[in-house]
Structures are given as C-alpha cells and as structure tokens.
C-alpha cells in the first residue's frame, strides 16, 4: 500500500511528497505536475541499477517516454564536461523545450540534473527524486544547482526550483551506512541553527536502533520545513538569511577540497566544519562550552568525524579557504551559534580564529 505521507508546500511553491513506496507512483505524480511527454532520467550506475527500472516503468505506464542517462557516481562527475555530454545525449534522444528532467540519485545527481534542466532550451522543468538522506533533507530543497570546477565547488550553477520533489524513504534501505550517517551532519546543522527541540530528540535517540519508515518520514519532513523556511526568506541568497545554512560549511568545504573530494564525504567534512564553527562560536558568540561538547558528542554518536587525522595537512585546509565564495572582497562573514537552536552571521570572526579552530581539530 502506498502511503503518500506528508505533502508540504515548499517556499517557492513546489511540492514535496514524502512517503513509502512512492517510486512506483512517480509517473502518476509527475503527470499531475508537468505536461511534458518526453523526459530524461539522469542517474548514476549505482542508483540506476537499483531503481531506474521501477521509475521508467511507472513513467511509461503514465504515458511518458523516458530516456535514461547515467553519469559515473561521485563528486568528480559534477563537472561542466558531464553537463555537456548529458545535454548532447538529450539532444540525440530528441528531447526538446517541452521535455522534463528527472534527477534520480544523491546530491551529485540532484545538483547536476538541476543545472542541466536550468540551461537545456533555456530552462525546462526538473523533478528531484533524492535517494540519499543528505539529498532528501538538504540538496533537493531550495533550488540551488551547480557543478564544480578545478578552482572550487559549486562555482558554476543556477537557481532553478524543482517542479516536484519525491522522497521515497524506502530507497534509503540500500544506502551504505557511511552515506546514511553523513546525512546527519546536515540534520544536526539544522538542529543547531534552528531547532533546539530536534537537537534534544536526536540526543535521546538510541542510534543503533534502525529507523522505521514513519520515523524517517517525520525526520525528513521536519528538516525540509526548516530548510524551506530559511530559503523562503532569502531565495537568492542575497540578504544573509540563507547564509545561516552555511553553518559549518566554511571550514567544511575547505576540508573537502583539501582532501581532494575523496578523503571525506560532504557530510563528514561538514561535521568537522561544525566542530570548528562551534569552537569559534564559544569564542565570538558566547556559546556555552557545554553546548559545544554536546554537539561534538552528538556528531560522534552518528558515526561522524570530529577530529582530523593527525597526518592531514592543516595548511592545505587554510589554502583551500581562499577559494571560498564567502570570503568575497577579503571580508569574512562567518555563521556562529550563540545557543543551540539559533545562529547569525558574524563579522567579528578573524582569520586567526579560523586558523586556531582548524589547529584544534
């Protein structure tokens, strides 16, 4: 039986469906939201092997003509080259202005397929079917699409809100443990910046017990609401409100880059970035040290790293910081938390503070 779960209106008037068994209904839901007939399903081989058949079948039954396009799995595929190749495959498959792009996969696929949808024939509709926890609670929401360049992450992209997001929590059953855990870095980030109650609930949870579908649906829904609320106040990242979502990301992105996007998963690097941001918050925003310790403890309980390996070059991280878009014009805007459940952008944080926090990791 299909449980369509929660249906919420996200900030920019698209819908997010959360439930169990939704993959077999993708065609029906898509038909309700877009008029296209032809569509590209963009995925990676790991995900396509598991779920593409069901999605294709459901779309075909609903009268769509899907073309499956896969790109190699992983961050290293989030490039302009892959965007070009994908667009060419779409042209060859006869997709036009009336077509639709469906991203079936994690955040890499979501970001890349969204960017493709934003430029193909100057923009066609995009449906997100996130298959990682991180993509469900974070990357599929908010309309930011992008690819990386050798100079840094997400440097080329566009705002392109999806027409629909379909979160089928059953797909998370095949997600490797490490991938599942990294989603909690963004969830804990959301708790720190906006939801002290969720922080407490995560603390009281027995982390070893498996997540039941309903509990997962609730968790995903709650996190989507947090992100949506923040995005709705600052859709184009201009007023500083949306910047709160970058909590832990200044140092986190630099660690990701210093590890050549191989050593740490995004969420793992963000976990370390959160630890650094908490240390800076103690110094510059009055975060009680007890609360910093509680954050570190919670990250650990979800299997996330809170210390850097001893031999990991701190200098490489400091060099990587220079590529951060947030250091525009040499000014540092750093997101701090004075208390779990709230955050703000501070201009008082110095490069020395950041250096010190990285040194302590």
Ligand X SMILES: NC(=O)c1ccc[n+]([C@@H]2O[C@H](COP(=O)([O-])OP(=O)(O)OC[C@H]3O[C@@H](n4cnc5c(N)ncnc54)[C@H](O)[C@@H]3O)[C@@H](O)[C@H]2O)c1
- Quote the least distance from Cβ 308 to ligand X, whole Å: 20
Q: Rule CB under 6 A: say whether 162 interacts with ligand X.
A: no
Q: How far is the CB of 7 from ligand X (least distance, A)?
A: 21
Applying CB under 6 A, which of residues 107, 125, 162, 248 lies at the interface with ligand X?
107
Q: Does 207 bind ligand X (CB under 6 A)?
A: no
According to DSSP, the β-strands at 65-70 and 38-43 are: parallel
- CA-nearest of 178, 196, 107 to 148 is 107
The verdict on 74 binding ligand X (CB under 6 A) reads yes
CA 84 to chain CA centroid, Å, is: 23
* Nearest residue relative to ligand X (C-beta): 107
Pick one of 102, 127, 135, 336: the residue that binds ligand X (CB under 6 A).
135
Is position 171 an interface residue for ligand X (rule: CB under 6 A)?
yes
- Min dist. Cβ of residue 256 to ligand X (A): 8
Distance CA 160, CA 126 (A): 8
- How many CA atoms lie less than 13 Å away from 61 in the CB half-sphere? 13
Contacts of 114 (CB under 8 A, 6+ apart): 101, 103, 126, 128, 143, 144, 145, 158, 160, 162
Which of 2, 138, 132 lies closest to 58 in space, CA to CA? 2
Measured from the CB atom, the residue of 294 and 345 that comes closer to ligand X is 345
Q: Is the Cβ–Cβ distance between 337 and 277 less than 8 Å?
A: yes
Nearest approach, Cβ of 103 to ligand X (angstroms)?
10
Residue 201, CA distances (Å) to 101, 228, 278, 311 in order: 37, 21, 20, 35
Window 175 to 194, contacts with ligand X (CB under 6 A): 175, 179, 182
Nearer Cβ to ligand X, position 77 or 281?
A: 77
d(CA 121, CA 118): 8
Q: Given candidates 17, 55, 58, 75, which one binds ligand X under the rule CB under 6 A?
A: 75
**Closer residue to ligand X in complex, CB, 47/102:** 47
Q: How far apart are CA 202 and CA 299, in angstroms?
A: 10
Pairing between β-strand 342-346 and β-strand 334-339 as defined by DSSP bridges: antiparallel
Site string for ligand X, 258-297 (x = CB under 6 A): --------x-------------------------------
| Positions that interact with ligand X (CB under 6 A) | 44, 46-47, 50, 73-75, 78, 105-109, 111, 131-132, 134-135, 138-139, 142, 144, 154, 171, 174-175, 179, 182, 266
């Amino acid at each position: 039986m299909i449980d369509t779960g929660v249906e919420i209106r996200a900030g920019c008037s698209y819908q997010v469906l959360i439930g169990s068994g939704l993959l077999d209904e993708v065609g029906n839901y898509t038909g309700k939201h877009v008029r296209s007939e032809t569509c590209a399903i963009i995925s990676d081989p790991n995900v396509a092997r598991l779920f593409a058949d069901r999605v294709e079948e459901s779309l075909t039954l609903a009268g769509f003509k899907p073309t499956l396009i896969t790109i190699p799995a992983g961050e290293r595929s989030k490039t302009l080259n892959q965007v070009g190749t994908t667009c060419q495959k779409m042209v060859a498959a006869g997709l036009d202005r009336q077509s639709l792009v469906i991203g079936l996969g994690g955040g890499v696929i979501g970001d890349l397929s969204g960017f493709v949808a934003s430029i193909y024939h100057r923009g066609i509709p995009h449906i997100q079917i996130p298959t990682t926890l991180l993509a469900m609670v974070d990357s599929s929401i908010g309309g930011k699409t992008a690819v990386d360049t050798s100079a840094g992450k997400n440097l080329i992209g566009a705002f392109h809100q999806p027409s629909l997001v379909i979160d089928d929590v059953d797909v998370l059953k095949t997600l490797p443990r490490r991938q599942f855990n990294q989603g909690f870095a963004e969830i804990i980030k959301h708790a720190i910046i906006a939801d002290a109650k969720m922080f407490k609930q995560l603390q009281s949870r027995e982390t070893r017990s498996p997540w039941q579908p309903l509990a997962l649906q609730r968790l995903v829904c709650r996190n989507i609401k947090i992100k949506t609320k923040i995005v709705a106040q600052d859709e184009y990242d201009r007023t500083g409100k949306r910047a709160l979502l970058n909590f832990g990301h200044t140092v986190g992105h630099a660690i990701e880059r210093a590890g050549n996007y191989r050593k740490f998963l995004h969420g793992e690097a963000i976990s370390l970035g959160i630890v650094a941001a908490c240390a800076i918050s103690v110094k510059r925003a009055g975060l009680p040290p007890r609360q910093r310790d509680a954050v570190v403890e919670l990250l650990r309980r979800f299997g996330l790293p809170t210390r850097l390996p001893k031999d990991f070059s701190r200098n490489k991280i400091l060099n990587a910081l220079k590529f951060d878009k947030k250091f525009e014009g040499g000014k540092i805007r750093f997101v701090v938390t004075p208390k779990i459940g709230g955050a703000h952008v501070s201009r008082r944080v110095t490069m020395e503070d950041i250096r010190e926090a990285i040194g302590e990791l």
